[in-house]
A and B are shown apart, each in its own frame.
Chain A
Amino acid sequence: MHNFRFTTFLTSNISSSENEIDYLLSRCKIKKVKKGEILLRPGEECKHSFFVESGLLRQFAIDDKGKEHIIQFAPENWFIADRSSVYFGEPSVYFIQALEESKVFLIEEQLFLQLSESDPGFLKSNLRLLHNHIRHLQKRIKQLLSDSAEERYLDFIKIYPDLTLRVPQVYIASYLGITPESLSRIRSELAGKNFTK
């Protein structure tokens, strides 16, 4: 077995045999991407789910005024894909871009479907991961509709503890749906409460 983060992720999250995990790994491609490189553009078909072995990706959309909206960050151990494209075959409306030099596993949807049919253990685990993702997205919608910006920020740092040191403020603000100025204000207010010289 290779010493990948992906291997560890699969062995701890998928209840399949070592042979099946080896088979899955052998069917995935690993790609090195440069900082800034774009893996998916609007209009294209998203052919793979991406698992981030190292580095950092983001999924974002651009509105008709040219403003970016970040849907998801994917640091190490995260999956990222456009589900509407990768599963439903629709042309994508998103960009997926590397924010750091990254190593990414490319997984074809067909492989997931095939393993789900042949291996009940895989099917169960994959369903759990999908439901976990849906849970995350529902929580995110609820937060965007009803939580304060500070509450959203405090949840963000729980999910992504080191991203405040890895990405510019403006990206975090975009993910939280606030202006960079509001993010500065939240952080300086927190420091006002929590900092003792």
Chain B
Amino acid sequence: MSTRKVQLVISPVEPHYVGDGFRVHNFIPGINELSMQRMSPFILMDYNSKFIFEPSETPKGVGVHPHRGFETVTIAYKGKVEHNDSSGGGGVIGEGDVQWMTAASGILHKEFHEKEWSKQGGEFQMVQLWINLPAKDKMSKPKYQAIQKADMSRYEIENNGGEIEIIAGEFNGIKGNASTFTPLHLYNARLKKGATVNFSFPEDYNTAMLVIEGNIKVNNSETAPTDHFVLMANDGKDFSVNAQDDAVVLVLSGEPINEPIAAHGPFVMNTRDELMQAFDDFNKGKFGYLEY
């Protein structure tokens, strides 16, 4: 057994708005230690901590924008989001659901609070992750994987300690539904107060946790309160998480993609030329067209 230590517990920075519907704390890549290279394949994490949106007849959100070269994973804890894209696709991400969108060669979409939810308003809490694609898959065909809460793979923790929802990868032999391009694990650990759970990932996998609810203690030493980000070192495999209260923890661990990154705005490619090509393709309508 080789213990993976906590490298850093990071407090959320001041939130900013993405459009008018997402009030997010950026962790990756805004925080110095959390560069795209350090956290690869997880190249962006925006966290809308629990926030009450007042009722609004006009749904709030973010207007038409493109993506190319990576996947976006939206994890809804509270609230509902509706999205539409330029190939006619669309859907609603409800509480507990996960939307795994492979933008790859290019998607043009918009994301808004779901119409009926928006009229009621209420607590809203979400994570958006960007997961990089290896060079060979960056220009593959876009696709969606909608993972409903009810269909999520689950591992029951002994002694009524809660459960691990496996979104992608594997936990104790149980596989998540999302298929991925490179090896990675993504879980929601929903822990009862006092429960302890052990995780083990290969040493070189970049690994972190985001505390969504409650307080946790890692390796029986460092504590991390709600809305904090725990960066794990790459010095071992195994670590334990103990729930100080009923807790929800997003756990992410993935094999780094060791390729050059050229990123600007909504495009993440390998070279500057590919980035310029992405802007040109977007400007010339190769991502399609959506009414603003």
Q: Do A and B bind each other?
A: yes
Which positions in A face B, CB cutoff 8 Å?
Answer: 154, 157, 161-162, 164-166, 169, 184, 187-195, 197
CB <8 Å contact, B276 and A191:
no
Which positions in B face A, CB cutoff 8 Å?
Answer: 65-66, 86-87, 264-266, 276, 279-280, 282-289, 291-292
Chain B residues whose CB sits within 8 angstroms of the CB of A194 once the complex forms: 284-286
CB <8 Å contact, A161 and B283:
yes
Determine the main DSSP class of A at the interface with B: helix
Q: How far is the CB of A101 from chain B (nearest CB, A)?
A: 11
Determine the main DSSP class of B at the interface with A: loop
CB <8 Å contact, A169 and B280:
no
CB <8 Å contact, A195 and B279:
no
Chain A residues whose CB sits within 8 angstroms of the CB of B292 once the complex forms: 169, 184
Q: In the bound complex, what is the Cα–Cα distance between A136 and B66 (angstroms)?
A: 29
CB <8 Å contact, A191 and B289:
yes
Chain B residues whose CB sits within 8 angstroms of the CB of A191 once the complex forms: 86, 285-289
CB <8 Å contact, A157 and B283:
yes
CB <8 Å contact, B280 and A195:
no
Chain B residues whose CB sits within 8 angstroms of the CB of A165 once the complex forms: 65-66, 265-266, 279, 282
Q: Report if A187-B279 is in contact (Cβ < 8 Å); known contacts: A162-B265, A165-B65, A197-B87.
A: no
Q: How far is the CB of A159 from chain B (nearest CB, A)?
A: 11
A-B pairs, top 6 by smallest CB distance, nearest first, are A191-B285, A191-B289, A190-B285, A157-B283, A161-B279, A195-B288
Closest to A161 in B: B279
CB <8 Å contact, B282 and A164:
yes
Chain B residues whose CB sits within 8 angstroms of the CB of A184 once the complex forms: 291-292
Tell which of B66, B283, B285, B288 has the most Cβ of chain A within 10 Å: B283
